[in-house]
């Protein structure tokens, strides 16, 4: 069975500092990987996804993530955060054989301070 672990429930950071949100997954088969962002009282917005090819994936709003198969990780990074990046971030995985079903991590609250 698949699972997703986001070790950090909260990440506080000052504006313009770099940030990394960690995500590890567990699966016995090949997977697709996703990062979503959720602003207060809103649905989820896709930040980026890894399907195949280059392990470094660039997304919207200056975010990027790197797929590391040996470490089963898909950490999200941004070199310089803004106040507007304050939100909840969810890592998710789906099996390639069953691409319809997404399994979500518990989320990481990124709070950017001025």
By CB under 8 A, residue 40 contacts another protein: no
DSSP-derived pairing of the beta strands 10-14 and 3-5: unpaired
Q: Which of 21, 107, 110, 112 binds another protein (CB under 8 A)?
A: 107
Of the candidates 32, 59, 61, 73, which one interacts with another protein according to CB under 8 A? Answer: 32
The answer to whether residue 23 forms part of the interface with another protein (CB under 8 A) is: no
- Taking CB under 8 A as the binding criterion, the range among 12-20, 32-40, 61-69, 72-80 that sits at the site for another protein is 32-40
Work out which of 94, 95, 110, 112 binds another protein, going by CB under 8 A: 94
Contacts of 27 (CB under 8 A, 6+ apart): 2, 3, 72, 93, 95
Q: Does 72 bind another protein (CB under 8 A)?
A: no
| Sign of the C-alpha dihedral computed for residues 96, 78, 42 and 26 taken in this order | positive
What the block records as the tokens of 91 is 């890592």
Q: Decide: is 100 part of the binding site for another protein (CB under 8 A).
A: yes
For residue 113 the two structure tokens come to 């301070």
């Amino acid at each position: 069975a698949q699972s997703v672990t986001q070790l950090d429930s909260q990440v506080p950071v000052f504006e313009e500092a770099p940030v990394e949100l960690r995500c590890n997954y567990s699966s016995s088969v090949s997977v697709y990987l996703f990062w979503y962002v959720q602003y207060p009282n809103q649905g989820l917005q896709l930040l980026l996804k890894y399907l195949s090819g280059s392990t470094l994936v660039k997304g919207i709003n200056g975010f990027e993530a790197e797929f590391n198969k040996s470490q089963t990780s898909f950490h999200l990074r941004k070199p310089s955060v803004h106040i507007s990046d304050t939100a909840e971030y969810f890592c998710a995985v789906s099996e390639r054989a069953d691409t319809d079903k997404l399994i979500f991590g518990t989320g990481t609250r990124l709070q950017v301070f001025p």
